[in-house]
Structure formats: C-alpha cells, structure tokens
Amino acid sequence: MDENLAIKAQKGDQEALAQLLYSNYEIVFKYLIKFTFNVSVAEELVQETMIKAIEKIIMFNPERAKFSTWLISIAQNIYIDTLRRKKREQKYVHEDITIDDLTDHQYVQDNSINSAIEALSHLSEDIRLPIILKHYYGFTLEEIAMKMLIPLGTVKSRIHNGLATVRKELEAYDRK
C-alpha cells in the first residue's frame, strides 16, 4: 500500500504524499523517542524527517526498502547530524523524559522495561545510540560504525561500557 502511495506521490499526487507521511508519522516518532528520551526533540526530528522526505520523495525506491524503513533511515541520519552539530556547538540542553511520560504515551507497560529504559536514559546519546541500534534494531557493529562514522573499536567500547553501566543501575534497582 505504501509503495503505491509513494509512486503516486513521486508523480506529484499531494494527497497520496500526505497520506503516506501521516500513516508513518507514529513509526518514526516511536523510533526517535527511543534515542532522544525527549518528546519535544523527537517531535522536532520527525518534522525534519517529513520535510526531508517531501524534498527527496523522488529518490525513494520501493524495490530497495519499505517506505517506513526509508523514513527511519532519514530520521536516523538527521538525528546523528543533529548530535554532531550540537556537540560542535557545545550548547546541547538535554530535557530528560520521565518514565511517567513514556507510560502516558503507552510506550512502556511493565516495570522491568521501565527500569531498563530509565537506566538507558541516564546514558549520553553517544553511548545510548549504539546500544539501541545493536540490541533493539539488530544492526551489526560494523553497520553501527559506518552509520555513526566512528571506529569499530569505539562502537564496541561504547556498547560494552554502556551495558556495564545499565547492569549496575539495574542491580541497584533490584536491591531496593
């Protein structure tokens, strides 16, 4: 269905494009919330993703990927670029999302997941991103290194150290 709408959108059908973007908005938002832990940042990134998709719709190839996968790829690239830009500017303000916010949005429903998300939320983005890409989305270490433009050893180190930190937090939580 998305592929048919995409073909129509590539031919200039604005209604098909709007329907396509609308039907995939939540998928991209949920993807971004896992990385940002910040509702307003995720919403802003989704908007940027949708704008980029409108500009680049002609480049979508339904034989290479589903439309939602293509959008997620755009979103991920925008997020990584945003992190790089903000790191250079050194003005990034991080507004943590609370577990209550996640539960209200029905993204999380049991306590073990709540604990894991809370532990992940305490990690910096450069540590959290490779962990989520590997363990939630199943990317290989090499793919993560290529996507983030960092050495393979750095990816391994970030994942190892990040998971060690998460384990410590979860152990402390379990002792409570």
* Span 73-128, pLDDT tens digits: 999 999 988 877 776 655 434 444 444 444 444 444 445 566 777 788 888 888 98
Cβ neighbourhood burial of 30 (10 Å; 0-12, 13-18, 19+): middle
Helix (H, G, I), strand (E, B) or coil at 149: coil
Non-local (6+) Cβ contacts of 5 within 8 A are: 16, 17, 19, 20, 67
pLDDT digit string (tens) for 12-69? 999 999 999 999 999 999 999 988 888 999 999 999 999 999 999 999 998 888 999 9
* Domains of the chain (ranges, CATH numbers): 1-97 (1.10.1740.10), 106-176 (1.10.10.10)
Q: H or E stretch including 6? A: helix 2-10
Residue pair 136/144 in contact by the 8 Å Cβ criterion: no
pTM of the shown model? 0.61
* C-alpha distance from residue 25 to each of 8, 14, 63, 149 (Å): 19, 16, 21, 27
